[in-house]
Amino acid sequence: MKIAVLVKEVPDTWGDRAIDPVTKRVDRGGDMVIDEINEKAVEAALLVKEAHSGSDVTVVTMGPKSALDAIRKSLAMGADRGIHIIDDGLRGSDAVQTSAALAAALKGRDFDLVIAGNESTDGRTAAVPAMLAERLGVAQLTFLRTLAVSGDTVTGERVTPDGHVDVRATLPALVSVTEQIAEARYPNFRGILSAKKKPVEVLAIADLALAAGDTGGDNAWSVVADVTARPARTGGTIITDDGTGGTQLAEFLASAKLI
d(CA 67, CA 80): 17
Q: Is residue 151 a contact residue for another protein (CB under 8 A)?
A: no
Binding mask 48-67 for another protein (x = CB under 8 A): --------------------
* Total residues at interface with another protein (CB under 8 A): 86
Shortest reach from residue 164's CB to another protein, in Å: 5
Q: What is the footprint of another protein within residues 163-192 (CB under 8 A)?
A: 163-170, 173, 179-180
Beta bridge partners of 83: 60, 201
Nearer to another protein, 66 or 170 (CB): 170
Q: Count CB-CB contacts under 10 A for residue 86.
A: 16
Q: Of the candidates 98, 84, 104, which has an alpha carbon nearest to the alpha carbon of residue 202?
A: 84
Q: Of the candidates 96, 55, 87, 79, which has an alpha carbon nearest to the alpha carbon of residue 7?
A: 79
Q: Is residue 142 a contact residue for another protein (CB under 8 A)?
A: yes
Nearer to another protein, 80 or 122 (CB): 122
Binding mask 95-114 for another protein (x = CB under 8 A): xx--x---------------
Beta bridge partners of 79: none
Cβ neighbourhood burial of 58 (10 Å; 0-12, 13-18, 19+):
buried
Shortest reach from residue 196's CB to another protein, in Å: 31
Nearer to another protein, 186 or 221 (CB): 221
CA end-to-end distance (rounded Å), the chain: 57
